[in-house]
Structure 1
Amino acid sequence: MVVSQSAFALMVFTDRLFMSRIDALHIASALGGGVTFFVTISLFQGVISYATALAAQYMGAGQLAKCPRVVTQGVIMAAACQPLLLLLGWQAANLFEWMGHAPAQVALERQYFFVLLAGSFLALTKTCIASYFSGIARTRVVMISDVLGVLVNIPLTYALIFGVMGLPALGIQGAALGTVIATGFSVAVYALFYFNRVHRRRFSVMDSFHYDRGILQRYVRLGLPSGMEVFVGAATFNLFLLLFQSYGVNEGAAMAIVFNWDMLNYVPLIGMNIAVTSMIGRYVGAGDMTRTNHVISAAFLLAFGYSILLGTFFIVLREQLMNVFATPGEDFSTIVTLGSQMMIGLATYVLADAAILIASGVLRGAGDTRWLMITSMLIHVLMLVFQVYIIKVLAFGPMASWWAFVATLLALAAIYLWRLLGSRWRSPERLARVMAE
């Protein structure tokens, strides 16, 4: 799962690296358009990704035939939400202008956003089937499919951006189109594994293509809080990002570059989060919580070890890392100076990210999604209120806003760890309610 998520990080990283070869405006626009797209689909993606926990719980309970039915219900939801997604997307595209972005940046952000939105069904379908394979412990399938998708994406995106190999030069639209095509390719690879004869027979795949009210109700009951958590977290983060970009193009480019390096820590940890969700889910399904402490200890050891190494790397080489994205022939010194200061904050919160993702993976696998939703929504909304006050009312500079963001992540990590150390999430009565259809 770490390799799989790292492949995704590499794909986004190279997309923005290609954008930097045009100018800083394209880097900032790709970040704004990409994050806004994620916010638009995040509620549905958060619900559908709960397939990891559901499939793991059914597998732990020995009910293998119910595992692929989770996929069917997820694809039904992905198709059903398309009209609403288009409506939401049409309104979300106005955010760029409302946040005071320059007209040239707004035009680029909208182009990137709308191409990604056109491929939303493929993105949600991929999320569903990848979550399913993670839940049944076939994570090698996820790795192979995602890595192959990235190997298609990188050269294709380069060709579509700059117009090589006989393809038109589409600029920022080419970056988004390459992502959509690569997502479709990954779905096709997943389908090969899904309909493989051995897998098909073991899980009764061909009998799963029907509406299952019980599974869908569990999907909504447990997955909807998870989706709301993701949506509100992503929405408030996106609004913070757009607010920060109102400082100017240089500030927006600096943030885009810092978050690009942040993905080297955050996205692999999402792989750990998914793995932990799957393992805890299987123990919940089997009614055996005796080994959960071993899973938690191992996950924290791996996550903290990785984040400490990467945080040190971010501090020591912060200026060099910013200069990787320098546009040839342009003065990049202002962006490097600001970004280097922001990299110190990044190195500060990488351990908080590790704690948040491991703790939330455990709690999500155990079905404690309502608590996660309420806590995450409250902290993220407070963060956005503080950011509006800092940026628009007090008119403080970008570093004040940045350190307030860092403090929010540290506080969220402390609250998640407090919940994890308690015993309410693992009580037998609550776990029995989680498994009820």
Structure 2
Amino acid sequence: MQSEKRQILHIVAPVFVSLMAQNIIGITDTAFVGRLGEVALGGVTMATMAYFCIFTLGFGLGIGTQIIVARRYGAGSYSAIGNILWHSLLMLLIAATLAIGTGLIGGETFFHSVLSSQRVATAATAYWDWRIWGFLFAFVGIVFRSFFVGIAQTKVLTYNAVVMAVVNIVLDYGLIFGKLGLPQMGLEGAAIASVLAEVSSLIFYLIYTHIVVDFKLYGLRKKLLQQFDWRLMQKTLNLSVYIMLQSLLSLSSWTLFFFMIEQLGERPLAIASIIRSIYIFLYISISAYSTAVSTTVSTKIGAGLTAQIPQYLRQVAFLSLGTMLIACLITVIAPSAVLHIFTDETSLIEAAKPALYVICIALCICSVGNMYFSAVSATGASKMALIIEAATIVFYVGYSAAMTYGLQAPVHICYTVEIVYYVLIGLSSYLFVISGKWQEKKWSEIKE
């Protein structure tokens, strides 16, 4: 058992550090932009939420690629991995091109149509027009992440994230406020800094892969056009499409939640924006453990060790909950200090405290439930993951609408939707996994 826990932490620790470094980017943006005022903070938040709604489609394709890579790695079919990655790269380049084109054409109209505050809409558009160019570099970077996580070599994610964080923090400071000899660009500066951080990330991946990875072992020397395989692309899409839709549903509903909050006014949106940054930071450990679940469960299936999966999930859920309890305890002991990172306004800090306590409860529930939810897709049953997500989202959106449009409740009451959401997601996933139905061929999207 101790050996199993060490293996879990071997995967989780580097991913945790890399995600922490990556999320420092978001925290830095919020902390710096928060000094420009509540309108600027709200605009950047809305544009960022829209950005990640599109990004999650590419990330979902990356998760599908990661699961297939891990399955081949577990089965010892190393040379087949390169072909999987080349096809994934082609699909992600097409997706990035479509994302940028869509963003350029419809971004401004979208924000001015859905946001009640035209000041916030203008700020969101100013940020968005620069930020969307990051799709190209971020989507290509997803291929590298899928490869390294799929073969359980996650240390590189840490190095990469540190590079991103350093570049973003330095450029944020310089471009937002006009320091370090750089022009003062405000919101646009924050967007440009984020894009350049993604460029630096991709450059690092390219250099690291060229130096460290055995191209021959993983079949990376083969050229895509010489071995194009429509069936492989279809297999990747069959698995990924449900993960993509599930991720899009999840993030879109969260984005819709923020649009609903925006209808309550600029102050509630400012509170929600700050809480969102803290929420995402606390969520890091959950993402790290979920990554371990996605890789290890798929690898165990590939190696014929399916009997070990239930015990493995219990162990990783226990570790995940323990980590989250520690993080939340620190947060609730010193809420003012945590909130002060994002704003100097005493009244805003006091108004945000109740919502901070609510998300801590929600994340403790999530720390267990999401391990089982990640396992659903990792087994290949990505269609079931989509069904679970879709059913829960219907309730999520209805609850959110009732709290905002109906009751016009305080932000912390609106955030209770997260508690109910994670209870439903976790319970549904747990029941499916322990039932063993994922072993039935009708649920698996990975056709051997």
- Please indicate, yes or no, whether the TM-score normalized by the shorter chain is above 0.5: yes
Query: Is the Cα–Cα contact under 8 Å of residues 93 and 136 in structure 2 kept in the other structure?
Result: yes
Distance 1:6 1:276, change over 3 A: same
Query: Once structures 1 and 2 are overlaid, which stretch shifts more, 177-186 or 94-103?
Result: 94-103
- Following superposition, the deviation at residue 261 of structure 1 comes to 1.3
User: What is aligned with 1:116?
Assistant: 131
Distance 1:197 1:16, change over 3 A: closer
3-state secondary structure, aligned to 2:232: helix
2:235 maps to which of 218, 221, 228: 218
User: What is aligned with 2:401?
Assistant: 388
User: What is aligned with 2:93?
Assistant: 79
Query: Once structures 1 and 2 are overlaid, which stretch shifts more, 268-277 or 228-237?
Result: 268-277
For 1:6-17, list aligned pairs within 5 A. 6-17=20-31
Query: Is the Cα–Cα contact under 8 Å of residues 64 and 240 in structure 2 kept in the other structure?
Result: yes
2:73 maps to which of 56, 59, 78: 59
User: What is aligned with 2:319?
Assistant: 302
- Following superposition, the deviation at residue 173 of structure 1 comes to 1.2
1:116-145 superposed Cα distances (whole Å, 9 cap, x missing partner): 211211111111211111001111122212
User: What is aligned with 2:430?
Assistant: 417
Letter in structure 2 aligned against 1:18 = F
Letter in structure 1 aligned against 2:436 = S
Query: Is the Cα–Cα contact under 8 Å of residues 193 and 199 in structure 1 kept in the other structure?
Result: no
Query: Is the Cα–Cα contact under 8 Å of residues 61 and 286 in structure 1 kept in the other structure?
Result: yes
- Following superposition, the deviation at residue 83 of structure 1 comes to 4.5
Which blocks of at least 5 consecutive residues in structure 2 are unaligned? 1-14
- 1:168 aligned to 2:183? yes
User: What is aligned with 1:343?
Assistant: 356
Distance 1:305 1:375, change over 3 A: same
Letter in structure 2 aligned against 1:436 = K
Distance 1:324 1:157, change over 3 A: closer
- 1:227 aligned to 2:238? no
For 1:206-285, list aligned pairs within 5 A. 206-210=221-225, 211-285=228-302
Q: How many residues align?
A: 431
User: What is aligned with 1:48?
Assistant: 62
Distance 1:356 1:69, change over 3 A: farther
3-state secondary structure, aligned to 1:382: helix
For 1:70-109, list aligned pairs within 5 A. 70-89=84-103, 90-91=105-106, 93-109=108-124
3-state secondary structure, aligned to 2:415: helix
1:1-31 superposed Cα distances (whole Å, 9 cap, x missing partner): 1111111111111111111222222222221
Which blocks of at least 5 consecutive residues in structure 1 are unaligned? none
Letter in structure 1 aligned against 2:218 = F
RMSD of the TM alignment (CA)? 2.0
CA distance in 2, matches of 1:197, 1:417: 39
1:183-209 superposed Cα distances (whole Å, 9 cap, x missing partner): 111111111232236521221211153
- Following superposition, the deviation at residue 238 of structure 1 comes to 0.3
- Following superposition, the deviation at residue 230 of structure 1 comes to 0.4
CA distance in 2, matches of 1:396, 1:152: 40
- Following superposition, the deviation at residue 79 of structure 1 comes to 1.8
- 1:33 aligned to 2:47? yes
Letter in structure 2 aligned against 1:287 = G
CA distance in 1, matches of 2:432, 2:209: 37
CA distance in 2, matches of 1:397, 1:141: 42
- 1:317 aligned to 2:343? no
Query: Once structures 1 and 2 are overlaid, which stretch shifts more, 96-105 or 29-38?
Result: 96-105
- Following superposition, the deviation at residue 35 of structure 1 comes to 0.8
Letter in structure 2 aligned against 1:28 = G
Query: Is the Cα–Cα contact under 8 Å of residues 96 and 242 in structure 1 kept in the other structure?
Result: no
- Following superposition, the deviation at residue 288 of structure 1 comes to 2.2
1:154-187 superposed Cα distances (whole Å, 9 cap, x missing partner): 1122111111222111111111111111111111
1:149 maps to which of 150, 164, 167: 164
- Following superposition, the deviation at residue 370 of structure 1 comes to 0.4
CA distance in 2, matches of 1:87, 1:207: 31
**Percent of residue pairs identical:** 17
Query: Is the Cα–Cα contact under 8 Å of residues 359 and 415 in structure 2 kept in the other structure?
Result: no
CA distance in 1, matches of 2:212, 2:393: 46
CA distance in 1, matches of 2:91, 2:23: 26
Query: Is the Cα–Cα contact under 8 Å of residues 353 and 413 in structure 1 kept in the other structure?
Result: yes
CA distance in 1, matches of 2:263, 2:352: 16
Distance 1:99 1:356, change over 3 A: farther
Q: Which 4+ residue blocks in structure 1 deviate beyond 6 angstroms?
A: none
TM-score norm. by structure 2 comes to 0.90
- Following superposition, the deviation at residue 244 of structure 1 comes to 0.6
- 1:181 aligned to 2:196? yes
